[in-house]
Amino acid sequence: MRSTKVAIVLGAAVLLIAAQVASRGQTTPTPSEGSKPARAAEGARKYIENAEKDLFDLGVKASRASWVEENFITEDTEQIAADAGEVVNTASTKYAKEAHQFDGLKLAPELARKRLLLELSAGFPAPDDPKAQKELAQILASLDGDYGKGKWCPDGERGKCLDVTAMEKLMAESRDVDELKRAWVGWHAIGAPMRQRYARMVELGNAGARELGYADVGALWRSNYDMPPDDFAKEEDRLWEQLKPLYLSLHAYVRGQLRKKYRNDLVPANGPIPAHLLGNIWAQEWNNVYSLMDSPKPPESYDLTKILQERKTDARGMVKYGENFFISLGFAPLPTTFWERSLFTKPADRDVVCHASAWDVDSKEDLRIKMCIQIREEDFRVIHHELGHNFYQRAYMNQPPLFQGSANDGFHEAVGDTIALSVTPEYLKKIGLIETVPPASGDIDYLLQQALEKVAFLPFGLLVDKWRWEVFSGQVKPENYNRAWWELRTKYQGVAPLVERTEADFDPGAKYHVPANVPYARYFLARILQFQFHRALCKEAGITGPLHRCSIYGNRAAGEKLNGMLSMGASKPWQEALETIAGQKQMDATALADYFAPLKTWLDEQNKAKGYAVGW
């Protein structure tokens, strides 16, 4: 769920004032008196703070250009977005370099933090060459537009083409193997035309990264976590190893259950699961195949999708449920403009990027979400997630522009998911959507539903950027893009395509975040952090008992603790922000493991009793 794109635009735009000053031949202002170090420090302060102040408006313009392009995809809007992106991307790259002039200065902690963020603000750096800058901007805009316009036309009938929203619905609901296969192949075909431009984009981005002093774009991205790039990669691996046994148990059980539903020759007993059978176009989350699982269903079980549809809940009503959750924690209601300017449903008359995202257009009160809402349980939870971004954005609104972001990008994703963890049966009963909370005998079934979304996602969340890091570093060449993609998917996820894939394909391009150039490690980190946050907030709320039964809905103490962390923005290293809410400075996967501990025991018992092999 992309929310940080706009934050990057604003942060990078801050740098453009420095470009304008330099182009006019002006020098950094310094005080007329005092020691040389003091004058230099004062010069650094004025340089950075003037950049923040004077370039704020340009950042807003770039945000609006991006919003229009994603909501009205035409050649013209792509060009407008490309032009705005070129200005911001070029400036951010140029002045990420120039910020290094202050590296040796002893600065006050707040100013030193700003300097660091200034140096890292080039999300995908453009080279110095103006021609290359323009080319990169055009490529970035065209790839984003290509994904938004992507469709699959069954039998080649253009009048019956399915966009990504319709594709997700088909993959979630269909149990026809042949239809699923055709749809999977059809959607993944949208990536192939992107391949050559993507390879060129990598070349240009790496050239820009090297000019900034980084080995490649991957090293730049990994430097955004208040630790050396290689240490961050090791940290991800450490967290994955904590959770790998849980994933292997879930994978074995799901594979065995799919063999019961489909032919044994289609789903192997010991090999990877065919990607098109997991209820999701990217096989990243498996909650849509929950109905095929034989977990013990309590008599008081419920179907939230059915309840919402029977109550004739509309898209706006779905969003109101999410807003009311935050209000119950003590947060102010969303501004009127949110309801006027957000996109809740897919327009019938034009192409839009339907991928759910939250936007902070002006870093004041212009908060929005963009989402093609379907009336179903999955979207009910996603809405709570997206609003988490918006309330985070509002909480750090009064920070200086360079601090208007999350402690790290995983925090932004984790906040909304933390709230979604409180979308428990207890919560649904409190807001009147169900009459009876299922008894503890149904906890395994509930945890399985959660695991099919949360745990199943973990290796996918890890591998997307692992693939990109290898691409950026040159370890994976363009002629091996697709093979490397599927090698990682098989290694980490244990999934594979049913049909042969070749280098004529570009399957990574069928996943939004790759053509949109959005770093993906944040989603893996969010899966870890949300459970740390959840455990800490439940403790603050004085709620005892199993973590999966805890909902902080209506608890002002938990809301106050949450807001304390949110309001820090990026003003401190993420370790300090984490300590504020969770009481520890290290990301810790034990909260997630504790949450699912009863399910892990049950899965191991089921796999042993049913003879399901573990691994592939």
List the catalytic residue out of 321, 523, 553, 595. 523
CA distance 296 to 300: 12
Q: Considering only CA atoms, which of 172, 169, 207, 185 is closest in space to residue 89?
A: 207
List the catalytic residue out of 86, 413, 453, 470. 413
Is 523 one of the catalytic residues? Answer: yes
List the catalytic residue out of 188, 276, 385, 412. 385
Instruction: Return the bridge partners of 185, or none.
Output: none
Degrees, nearest 5: CA angle 419-400-222: 65
Cβ atoms of residues 548 and 447 within 8 Å: yes
Q: How far is CA 102 from CA 43, 68, 193, 341, in A?
A: 9, 37, 43, 41
Long-range contacts of 167-175 (CB under 8 A, 24+ apart): 167/281, 168/280, 168/281, 169/374, 171/276, 171/279, 171/280, 171/281, 171/288, 172/279, 172/280, 172/288, 172/378, 173/288, 175/261
Degrees, nearest 5: CA angle 298-299-304: 80
Q: How far is CA 563 from CA 161, 329, 409, 419, 466, in A?
A: 44, 9, 17, 13, 33
List the catalytic residue out of 251, 276, 513, 534. 513
Residue 85 in tokens: 């992106």
Question: What is the DSSP-derived secondary structure letter of residue 355?
Answer: S
List the catalytic residue out of 389, 412, 534, 548. 389
Instruction: Return the bridge partners of 273, or none.
Output: 495
Q: What is the DSSP string of 123-168?
A: SSPPPS-HHHHHHHHHHHHHHHHHHHH--B-GGG-GGG-B-HHHHH
List the catalytic residue out of 70, 135, 386, 453. 386
Residue 71 in tokens: 């909501």
The SS3 call for residue 383 is helix
CA distance 346 to 332: 28
List the catalytic residue out of 356, 516, 570, 591. 356
CA distance 257 to 249: 13
CA distance 454 to 378: 12
Cβ atoms of residues 200 and 208 within 8 Å: no
Is 355 one of the catalytic residues? Answer: yes
First-to-last C-alpha distance (Å) of the chain? 30
Q: How far is CA 272 from CA 189, 261, 286, 497, in A?
A: 22, 16, 14, 9
Is 356 one of the catalytic residues? Answer: yes
CA distance 421 to 439: 18
Cβ atoms of residues 190 and 509 within 8 Å: yes
DSSP β-ladder status, 357-360 and 367-370: antiparallel
Is 211 one of the catalytic residues? Answer: no
- SS3 string of 17-72? HHHHHHHCCCCCCCCCCCCHHHHHHHHHHHHHHHHHHHCHHHHHHHHHHHHHHHHC
List the catalytic residue out of 355, 384, 412, 534. 355
Is 386 one of the catalytic residues? Answer: yes
Cβ atoms of residues 474 and 489 within 8 Å: no
Residue 336 in tokens: 């009127």
Cβ atoms of residues 314 and 375 within 8 Å: yes
Look-up of token digits 């050396």: 228
Is 214 one of the catalytic residues? Answer: no
CA distance 262 to 258: 6
Q: Would you please indicate which residues are annotated as catalytic (active-site) residues?
A: 355-356, 385-386, 389, 413, 513, 523
